[in-house]
Amino acid sequence: MIDIRDVHWRYAAATEPALRGFNLTVEPGEVVLLCGASGSGKSTALRLLNGLIPHFHDGDLQGTVRVAGLPVPDTPLEELGRRTGSVLQHPRRQFFTGAVGPELAFALENLGTDPSVIRRQVELTAADFGLLPLLERPLAALSGGEQQRVACAAAVTHRPVLVLFDEPTSNLSTDAIDHFVAGVRRLRAAGAAVVIAEHRLHPLRDVVDRVVVLRDGRVETGWTAAEFRRLDDATLASAGLRGDLAPVTGPRPAPPEHDHGLRLEDVRCAERGRPTLTLDRAFFPAGAVTAVRGPNGAGKTTLARVITGLQRHRGVVRLNGQPLGPARRQRSSALVMQDVQRQLFTDRVTAELTLGGSAVDDERVTALLADLDLLVVRDRHPLALSGGQQQRVAIAAARLSGKPIVIFDEPSSGVDRRHLASITRVIRELADEGAVVVVISHDEALLAPVADHALELVPPNGSGSHETERNQAWAR
């Protein structure tokens, strides 16, 4: 199915190759997990497999690349697209339609498939991925996790023989990950080859057949599924890979409510008449980290937009006991979005860090860049960086913003072990300095060491009530 031999690839604008002597073979019906530290070449390898390299990205390619019996450099991208399905790190960038059902049908329509077959395939795939209730929904109205599920489903509706996933679990809740893993099992049973690039390894340990570890653009080592399940945390750490969870050192009591913090009362949001967030009351204390958890579609990102003044709503938001309108909330908040590329505005990393207007000395900027492994790119354009680097730039900008409210929406998606630790330090430092810090995440490896307490959300029911569990003690 996949035969890659001694491949070297350098992007046109790069001085160093992204792949150097890369070799990989994958058989039909095999699930292979690609892992490695950020910048090791995982996303580039996937672009090689679906033909985006060299047909879309410019650069210098050497070596042999064959997929489904076809020589990739000599095969039109359309032909490769018939045989492959891909999910990018940021799914909304690969959507072509405005609603869930048409998006699932898009590839089949492009292939000229009979409409009756399209309808049947869309319904079957939607059922497999738990998307039947969403088929008529606009894509723009979905949460980031729901969009990720749609992208995964759209990639396989046309039944490709090779499916490529780039960080597919990064924004998924536990139940959505279960749906995804079940979908991978069905692909394997149908004889498709599956290649998954991921940092969160634990959810996939029982579905992969082989693990391949990349470093500096080449294969460093690999394990069978049985060997992978027996690895201890020290071995994973030596390869720069994440383990299951951060160490738990005991419960940390939830702080009592008081006037120093952010309070929401009777907050209601709706999209086209459908409730998206109904919150009777919630409190986010200053000087502490509040984790916001819940399934995809529970309203977590909507809550972030409410707090930062970006979402219309009913109800009252108070900071330190005083009502705070949308405009003042916007000026008082820093937000790290799921898709950080949408919030990068300058032409240099260092300019991005000081864009908010805070007076920050060069020594502090340099120290933070070093901690987040960004020193070597400090003078580069933010949009020329990798996805992980862009995310850390946005986190650094939030750290230096001086805002009393800071919200991180899935800050650890696509983050390796080393950078997870540095992001954890940044979040804790903000809380220690007295900010209201909110972390929206499904990543227990991040929440265990960083969160003081939690707000649990579930999707609003038909009566408009929104169940919550406030100030839950968090194990640290």
Q: Which of 238, 270, 289 is the last residue of a domain?
A: 238
Please tell me whether residues 311 and 188 are part of one structural domain: no
User: 177 with 205: CB under 8 angstroms?
Assistant: no
Domain assignment of residue 274, yes or no: yes
Instruction: Report helix, strand or coil for 5.
Output: strand
230 contact partners, CB below 8 Å, separation of at least 6? none
Q: How far is CA 97 from CA 163, 366, 394, in A?
A: 21, 43, 29
Domain assignment of residue 243, yes or no: no
Domain assignment of residue 303, yes or no: yes
Minimal CA–CA distance to 445: which of 430, 423, 463, 466? 423
Minimal CA–CA distance to 48: which of 214, 235, 259, 231? 214
Domain assignment of residue 72, yes or no: yes
Please tell me whether residues 207 and 269 are part of one structural domain: no
User: 279 with 468: CB under 8 angstroms?
Assistant: yes
Mean pLDDT over residues 248-265, rounded?
67
Please tell me whether residues 321 and 357 are part of one structural domain: yes
DSSP bridge pairs for 291? 439, 454
pLDDT value at 271 more than 90: no
Number of domains in the chain: 2
Minimal CA–CA distance to 127: which of 182, 168, 174, 173? 182
Burial letters 86-109, b for 16+ CB under 10 A, else e? bbbbbbbeebeeebbbbbbbbbbe
Please tell me whether residues 218 and 257 are part of one structural domain: no
Domain assignment of residue 467, yes or no: yes
pLDDT tens readout for residues 95-151:
999 999 999 999 999 999 999 999 999 999 999 888 999 999 999 888 888 898 899
Q: What pLDDT is attached to residue 466?
A: 39
Q: What pLDDT is attached to residue 90?
A: 79
What are φ and ψ of residue 342, in 5° steps? -80, -5
Please tell me whether residues 328 and 450 are part of one structural domain: yes
| DSSP one-letter string for 217-284 | TEEEEEEEHHHHHH--HHHHHHTT---S-PPP--EEPPPPP-SSEEEEEEEEEEETTEEEEEEEEEEE
What is the residue range of 448's domain?
251-475
Q: How far is CA 315 from CA 257, 270, 301, 319, in A?
A: 19, 13, 17, 14
CATH number, domain containing residue 346: 3.40.50.300
Instruction: Report helix, strand or coil for 47.
Output: helix
Please tell me whether residues 299 and 191 are part of one structural domain: no
Residue type, 440: I
Domain assignment of residue 97, yes or no: yes
Residue type, 6: D
Count Cβ atoms within 10 A of the Cβ of residue 212 and give its class: 0-12 exposed, 13-18 middle, 19 or more buried.
buried
Kindly indicate the confidence band of residue 258, based on its pLDDT and cuts at 50, 70 and 90.
low
pLDDT value at 264 more than 60: yes
pLDDT tens readout for residues 432-471:
999 999 999 988 889 999 999 999 998 876 433 333 433 3
Q: Which of the residue ranges 1-15, 222-236, 237-251, 344-358 would you say has the lowest mean pLDDT?
A: 237-251
Please tell me whether residues 193 and 276 are part of one structural domain: no
Please tell me whether residues 186 and 233 are part of one structural domain: yes
Tokens for 50, please give them: 């679906």
Give the 3-state secondary structure percentages of the chain, helix then strand then coil, rounded to 5: 35, 25, 35
The model's pTM is: 0.84
Q: What pLDDT is attached to residue 469?
A: 39
Please tell me whether residues 68 and 211 are part of one structural domain: yes
Q: Which of 207, 238, 269 is the last residue of a domain?
A: 238
Please tell me whether residues 119 and 267 are part of one structural domain: no
The strand pair at 193-197 and 210-215 is best described as unpaired
Kindly indicate the confidence band of residue 312, based on its pLDDT and cuts at 50, 70 and 90.
very high
Domain assignment of residue 427, yes or no: yes
Kindly indicate the confidence band of residue 475, based on its pLDDT and cuts at 50, 70 and 90.
very low
pLDDT tens readout for residues 190-225:
999 999 999 888 889 899 999 999 999 999 999 999
120 contact partners, CB below 8 Å, separation of at least 6? none
| Whole-number Å distance between alpha carbons of 318 and 311 | 15
| Whole-number Å distance between alpha carbons of 112 and 202 | 39
User: 208 with 31: CB under 8 angstroms?
Assistant: yes
Instruction: Report helix, strand or coil for 385.
Output: coil
| DSSP one-letter string for 14-31 | -SS-SEEEEEEEE-TT-E
Angle value at C-alpha 471, between 467 and 475, nearest 5 degrees: 115
Domain assignment of residue 174, yes or no: yes
Please tell me whether residues 187 and 261 are part of one structural domain: no
Please tell me whether residues 226 and 139 are part of one structural domain: yes
Q: Which long-range contacts (CB under 8 A, 24 or more apart) does 55-62 make?
A: 55/80, 57/11, 57/12, 58/11, 58/12, 59/9, 59/10, 59/11, 59/12, 59/14, 60/8, 60/9, 60/10, 60/12, 61/7, 61/8, 61/9, 62/6, 62/7, 62/8, 62/9
Residue scoring higher pLDDT (67 or 415): 67
